[in-house]
Amino acid sequence: MRALELKIPPPILALLIGTAMWGVSLAAPATPLPLNIRLVATIAIALAGVSISIAGVAAFRRAKTTLNPFKPGATSSLVTRGVYRLTRNPMYVGLALALLAWAVFLSSPWSLSGVLVFILYMTRFQIVPEERALTGIFGAAYSDYQTKVRRWL
């Protein structure tokens, strides 16, 4: 299974899953929700996701460390401030929230499974390999951070 680790860029994975969610929404019955309620909820969730992702990117840029999801071993700083006090993976949380917003907009309960697939895939094939690399680089400091801050939320 390691052959799948660090292979798909997280935004591309989210786009692929979002496309599958749309396909599922066409095949499965929708939940009748008024469009205005769906739009307000979609926008609120999407804005939260974008804000969390941007905060994560900004913290990495301030720390002058890599944003490359394929090379966690190139990390030069352990970022634990700002949004990283709430989640160890704010950029991935932001993508998951974007998918959740998309599911709300689609108004298809079955499309919510895409959010779960994203979280499970990201945890196994992106986050776990990143955590191995960060433990190798930062040792006890990273292990201590892991005990204080959740992987997702």
Domain boundaries, the chain: 9-24+36-67+76-148
Q: State what percent of residues in the chain have pLDDT above 70.
A: 100
136 φ/ψ angles, rounded to the nearest 5 degrees: -65, -35
Average pLDDT rounded to a whole number, residues 78-97: 98
- Supply the pTM of this predicted model: 0.96
The pLDDT tens digits of the residues spanning 24-79 come to 999 988 898 999 999 999 999 999 999 999 999 999 999 999 999 999 999 999 99
